[in-house]
Structure 1
């Protein structure tokens, strides 16, 4: 009996691998959708007192209103400038952390003071910053600087200490100078720690500017939050908070993209 061979024509397009949505995107989206759905249901079935709290649809309506009037952009511009200047100043923590992590005597001399300042509740010193630097922009910038510098500095120090000893010995055996040591060995090794420090500092910077504007400001996101809370406009209050949350997530994601460009070997 002759064997009959059947051939099945499969479209070449079906053989192509379908691009799947990364789990890093799909998982948070699904989780957020479930949270918003349950939260909205609680609001619709009067399980939430609108005077005390709000729900997604009402918050979205309020956000539409202040985006349409452009009010939020005015506040964001001021807060963004204050965060930008303060955060740029805080990046001085990178070279300081590199030096303190590399030279032991420098660490011994200044580490107790760094630890003391890092553990100090800087938010409680906001009135003092206002007294020193006034009610204008400078006091907010200095608050951002004071809260942002220490996560960057401490994580940079940790990154230097985590550098493999074999790499340092190899560089020294080839006659590398101190400058070459920092540029070719220590700094690349510390990059992931520096990025982590910057990510932590972003959150602290936003906290600093909001608290400073709430206590001593007549413009900015912190002032807008305080103003809405004083008028018991809960939905508007939460809408501004959501804007800050979205901004923080966007900045963090941009930082992750920057890390992938700067240290592609860390992309796992």
Structure 2
């Protein structure tokens, strides 16, 4: 009887929320499951040429095989180091973007060059990076840096320029100094744009390291993909690609969590 009384006292909203799957998890999971089932059926019915492509069960088997052998961790460690160093260097785009967004003359002086470099197909310059920085880690790091910095810089600059003018006027009316204005108004307003720039830069960083390792590497995920493709090991090739996809999703989700911590007002 006491248990029944206790259960009656629990709010209905609490009961429902403890069992409810978030829509942001449920819908993508169902979509992915449907795609994988259809893909697997096509493979089992031999509608897919295994020499040209593969299907989920074979890709999963290959992934398990090189996870057991720890081969993938060796490649991930090298690629992760190159992405980490290059991406950390690319974060200099944040203070540069803040400065260009805040000072109009600085934007006028450098914006055409930033636009020109951003629109340049950096991937086509990979052989030049190899010529300049050699076949070792430095060329991959510089490729990651070159592809990552501009999304961060441009989005940061846009965030500063999109600051609500009424907030700036209110801060000035209360006698805020330039430093206080920047810290209390402009920077918080630009944070969502900075996070967006970093999210875009993550994808470009992974592209950069894979392409650089494919063209001039003897270790790393890019090299492993190239090696598997040269041997026509399609399932293994796609397994490495799947590892990259999972890694990029995890990094993006971690970035979303970080944004919630530093900009909680965005979730209101």
After the TM superposition, which segments of 4 or more aligned residues of structure 1 sit over 6 Å from their partners?
none
Q: Could you tell me which residue of structure 1 aligns to residue 170 of structure 2?
A: 170
Per-residue CA deviation, residues 230-256 of structure 1 (Å, 9 max, x unaligned), is 000000000000000000000000000
Aligned partner of residue 17 in structure 1, secondary structure: helix
Q: Could you tell me which residue of structure 1 aligns to residue 16 of structure 2?
A: 18
Q: Could you tell me which residue of structure 1 aligns to residue 29 of structure 2?
A: 29
CA distance in 1, matches of 2:95, 2:215: 32
Within a 5 Å distance, the mapping from 1:106-125 to structure 2 comes to 106-125=106-125
Superposed displacement of residue 263, structure 1: 0.5
Superposed displacement of residue 172, structure 1: 2.1
Aligned partner of residue 51 in structure 1, secondary structure: coil
Q: Could you tell me which residue of structure 2 aligns to residue 221 of structure 1?
A: 221
Aligned partner of residue 135 in structure 1, secondary structure: coil
CA distance in 2, matches of 1:34, 1:104: 51
| Count of aligned residue pairs for this structure pair | 261
Gaps of 5+ in 1: 1-8
Alpha carbon RMSD of aligned pairs, Å? 1.5
Superposed displacement of residue 11, structure 1: 5.2
Change (3 A) 1:14 1:207: same
Gaps of 5+ in 2: none
TM-score using structure 1 length: 0.94
Superposed displacement of residue 200, structure 1: 0.2
Q: Could you tell me which residue of structure 1 aligns to residue 189 of structure 2?
A: 189
Superposed displacement of residue 175, structure 1: 2.6
Q: Could you tell me which residue of structure 2 aligns to residue 91 of structure 1?
A: 91
CA distance in 2, matches of 1:17, 1:43: 42
TM-score using structure 2 length: 0.94
Q: Could you tell me which residue of structure 2 aligns to residue 146 of structure 1?
A: 146
CA distance in 2, matches of 1:171, 1:14: 44
Q: Could you tell me which residue of structure 2 aligns to residue 69 of structure 1?
A: 69
Aligned partner of residue 154 in structure 2, secondary structure: helix
